[in-house]
Amino acid sequence: MRFRDRDVVLAGVRGETIEVPSANPLNYWQVISRREAMPRVTVDGKLFVPGDARPPAPVVVIVPGSLGIARVHLAHAETLTGLGLAAFVLDPFGARGVTSTVANQTQFSFAASAFDVAATVAALAARPEIDPRRIALQGHSRGGSAVLTAVTRRFAEAVHAPALAARAVLAAYPWCGHQFLDPHVGPTEVRAIVGDRDEWVSPQQVQGHVQAIRLRGGTASVRIVPGAAHSFDRAEPLTRFEDARISPGAPTAYLADDGAFIHPVTGEADPALVDRHLAVYALKAGYGVRGASLGPQGDQAALFREEMIAFFRRTLLS
């Protein structure tokens, strides 16, 4: 059953299904330089607005990773509504007929994932119960990549009004293999969190992305959690996924101002390059890895929850 068809109640708040006009771009270049060529798609999610929230309410958009919406994402939404924040749980998979991207991340582009998020910002900003000046994003894994790209101004301003900007972003163990040469995020505060034992993404690449944002004048920080693997916020124990196909050590594919991929080997921007080209390059270069673990150990899930609460209390409620 698609998420949109489920009746979800969190802390007494029934989720309202919201449709978001989005797109299926082949790559970032198409978003920025050839928008008219993008196939359109309508994604959706559920909005939870607590009854005691004073309208217009601040909202946190929760973006899942490669396994889609899980119990942990709904638990985070419930925690946030308990703080008096609205929460929107985005479903990037349902409308595309995808159930998981663990074994194949090229079923739809990372640019499409980021487009979903930026389009959601625009859709929520237009709603009377939501404060357009206090929209925040929380992305997990592939969703973490999506929220970082969605607030990069080169990308964001190609999707929604230039005056619109997310207040804050919490990127949880994001894959940072695609980065704009100009990583300017404007007024958005960026916080990344990743474990130093993460097998799915490169903590060093996350550090580099955050530092690039800082050097461009943005407010950005990163927390490295010792001993933590990927998805350490989940309730389930550390689990091995043998079908995972990843290449966390591959070189970064940078993006030119027009959105074109710059191939790591040639150093040249090419609008024809898509995610699959870079993935095949990484495999042929020997960076491909089969199988990886995710999940928490000890009190790591509680640590994440505390980090999330503190970040959004400070950025949205203070």
Phi, psi for 64 (deg, rounded to 5): -75, 170
The CB density around residue 310, as the number of other CB atoms within 10 Å, is: 11
Residue that the structure tokens 């955050």 belong to:
210
- In the chain, % of residues over pLDDT 90: 90
User: Which pLDDT value is given to residue 302?
Assistant: 97
In terms of pTM, does the model score above 0.85? yes
Integer angstrom CA distances of residue 107 from 62, 142, 223? 21, 13, 30
pLDDT at 102 over 80: no
- Taking the C-alpha atoms of residue 301 and residue 317, their distance in angstroms, rounded to an integer, is 23
Q: What is the mean pLDDT of residues 168-179?
A: 98
User: Which pLDDT value is given to residue 210?
Assistant: 98
Pairing label, strands 86-91, 40-48? antiparallel
User: Which pLDDT value is given to residue 285?
Assistant: 96
- Taking the C-alpha atoms of residue 100 and residue 68, their distance in angstroms, rounded to an integer, is 6
Least Cα distance to 194 among 146, 236, 151, 140 occurs for: 140
Cβ atoms of 114 and 150 closer than 8 Å: yes
User: Which pLDDT value is given to residue 27?
Assistant: 98
pLDDT band at 266 (very low <50, low <70, confident <90, very high): very high
Residue-wise pLDDT tens digits, 197-219: 999 999 999 999 999 999 999 99
pLDDT at 257 over 90: yes
Beta bridge partners of 253: 178
Residue that the structure tokens 């950005």 belong to:
220
Q: Which amino acid is at 140?
A: H
Q: Which residues contact 6 (CB under 8 A, 6 or more apart)?
A: none
Q: What is the mean pLDDT of residues 45-68?
A: 92
Q: Average pLDDT of the chain?
A: 96
Q: Which residues contact 272 (CB under 8 A, 6 or more apart)?
A: none
pLDDT band at 100 (very low <50, low <70, confident <90, very high): confident
User: Which pLDDT value is given to residue 153?
Assistant: 98
- Taking the C-alpha atoms of residue 5 and residue 50, their distance in angstroms, rounded to an integer, is 21
Q: What is the mean pLDDT of residues 303-313?
A: 98
Cβ atoms of 154 and 257 closer than 8 Å: yes
